[in-house]
Amino acid sequence: MDIDTPPPSPTSPPSVLLVEPDSALAARYTEWLEDGYDVRTVESRNETIDAIDGEIDVIVFDRRGSNSDSSPGAETLLQTIRDRDFDCRIAMIVTADPSFDGAPRRLDDALVAPISATDLRGVVDRLALQATYDDQLRTFYELASKRALLDRDRPDAELAASRRYAALEDRLAVARARADETVADVLAFANDRHRRDAVRNVLRDEEH
C-alpha cells in the first residue's frame, strides 16, 4: 500500500438549502444565514431533490409548502431524501409544537413558526456542527484505516524512516483533535442534562 496520502482539502462555508415558497420569507431567512453560510434557495419541493448535491450540509424546509398540486408532501420529501442517502441534516418549519404537530421522526430538528433569526441560526449552527462532525469522523477513520494497513504490511523500520508515514500520523492526530473540538461545540448547544445526554448518544452511535 502506498504511504502517500493527499493533503486535506481547503475548508469552505457549510451549505444550507432553504425550501421556502414565500419569497419574502426566503429573503429574510437568507439574510439571517448568509453571514457564515453558503445559502441556496428553492421555492418548491419539486426543485429540492435536484438542488441537493454532495455539498449541501443542512436543509430547512417549510412544512406548509407551496400551493402546487404536484408538489410532494413534507413527509414524502423527507422520505425521498433519506431513501437516497443524501448526507445532510434536515430541519422543518412547522406551525405548532412538533410534539403535537406530528412532525416526522426522521427530522433532525423542528422550528415552530413564526421563527426568529436567533431560532433559525441556532438550529442551523447546531446541525451544521453535527454535519461537520460526521465529515471529520469519516476523515479520521479513513486515515486510521490507512495507518492500520501500513502498520500491518510494512516493516517497522521502514515506517519509522518514512516522512510520509510521519505526515500521516500528524494528519491523524489533527483529525482527532478537530473531531474532539467539534463534539465540544455540539454539546455546548445542549442547555440541559437531558438534551446533552441525547446528543452524546447520537454521537456515540455514529462512532460505532
pLDDT confidence tier of residue 192, bands split at 50, 70 and 90 = very low
Checking if the pLDDT of 92 tops 50, the result is yes
The pLDDT score that the predictor gives to residue 193 is 42
Supply the DSSP string of 129-140, one letter for each residue.
HHHHHHHHHHHH
In the chain, which ranges are continuous DSSP H helix? 23-33, 48-51, 74-83, 98-101, 117-153, 156-160, 163-188, 193-207
Give the cell for residue 166.
510521519
Q: Could you give the count of Cα atoms lying within 13 Å of 95 in the half-sphere of its Cβ?
A: 4
Q: Do the Cβ atoms of 43 and 64 come closer than 8 Å?
A: no
pTM summary value: 0.67
Could you tell me which residue, 120 or 47, shows the higher pLDDT?
A: 120
**What average pLDDT does this structure show over 11-15?**
82
- CA dist 189 and 119 (Å) reads 12
Please say if the pLDDT value at position 100 is more than 50: no
Tens digit of each residue's pLDDT (9 = 90 or more) over 164-186: 989 988 988 888 887 787 777 76
